[in-house]
Amino acid sequence: MTNEEMYKMYQNGDTFQKIADVCGISKQAVHQRMVLYERKVYGIRGKRKQRLLIDKIVYKGIYEHFENNYDETISSMCKKVYGYATGNTDKFKSFITGEHDSHFKLEHIKRLCEVVGKPFEETFAER
Q: What is the pLDDT of residue 97?
A: 86
Residues 60 and 110 grouped into a single domain? yes
Largest CA-CA distance found in the chain, in angstroms, rounded = 55
* Segment 73-101 mean pLDDT: 81
Stated length of the chain: 127
Residues 8 and 69 grouped into a single domain? no
Residues 82 and 27 grouped into a single domain? no
DSSP symbol at 59? B
Cut 0.85: pTM above it: no
- Supply the range of the domain harboring residue 86: 48-123
Residues 101 and 117 grouped into a single domain? yes
Residues 28 and 84 grouped into a single domain? no
Instruction: List beta partners, residue 59.
Output: 126
Q: What is the pLDDT of residue 59?
A: 92
Q: Are 30 and 5 in contact (CB under 8 A)?
A: no
Question: Which amino acid does the sequence have at 18?
Answer: K
